[in-house]
């Protein structure tokens, strides 16, 4: 009986941990109290080393919205336990942005191996620098 109970408890704990791990990231500028623009960033896919985001209206973003989005990428990197991030997009990607979480400041980092850089040379950003910039703790 003890073995069955222990098995059920462990199975429940693993199932709960997997549910929490699979929750996709989302953030709304409006919910953060920003009134100058209204964007919602939604993680639509999470892979090892990168996330694919959907940001409706991304191509029409203002400079302040771009800065806010960099803070969102930073918060996502923190959630993914990364100290670096790089956003990949171009004029043809519409509302889709890929955020890569490399372990080094090199574009040869394995995190970029399964990502289409879209002919760009993404700039790798430091979470530490953006924590200050974004006023995060």
Asked whether residue 18 carries a pLDDT value surpassing 90, the answer given is no
Asked whether residue 124 carries a pLDDT value surpassing 50, the answer given is yes
**How many whole angstroms separate alpha carbon 31 and alpha carbon 8?**
38
Single pTM value for the model: 0.82
pLDDT at 21: 54
pLDDT at 104: 97
Please state the rounded mean pLDDT for residues 95-123: 96
Where residue 67 falls among pLDDT bands split at 50, 70, 90? very high
- Long-range interactions of 128-133: CB distance < 8 A, separation 24+: 128/83, 130/70, 130/71, 130/73, 130/74, 131/74, 131/78, 133/67, 133/70, 133/71
Mean pLDDT value across the chain: 87
Where residue 137 falls among pLDDT bands split at 50, 70, 90? confident
pLDDT at 13: 42
pLDDT at 83: 97
Poorest-pLDDT segment among 5-9, 44-48, 72-76, 106-110: 5-9
Contact 86, 103 (CB under 8 A): no
């Amino acid at each position: 009986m003890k073995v069955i109970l222990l098995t059920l408890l462990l199975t429940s704990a693993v199932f709960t941990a997997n549910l929490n791990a699979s929750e996709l990231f989302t953030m709304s500028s409006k919910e953060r109290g920003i009134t100058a623009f209204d964007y919602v960033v939604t993680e639509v896919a999470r892979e090892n080393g990168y996330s694919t985001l959907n940001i409706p209206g991304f191509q029409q973003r203002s400079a302040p919205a771009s800065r806010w989005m960099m803070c969102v990428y930073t918060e996502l990197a923190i959630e993914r336990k990364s100290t670096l991030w790089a956003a990949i997009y171009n004029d043809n990607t519409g509302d889709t942005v890929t955020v890569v979480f490399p372990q080094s400041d090199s574009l040869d980092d394995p995190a970029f191996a399964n990502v289409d850089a879209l002919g760009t040379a993404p700039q790798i950003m430091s979470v530490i620098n953006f924590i200050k910039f974004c006023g995060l703790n």
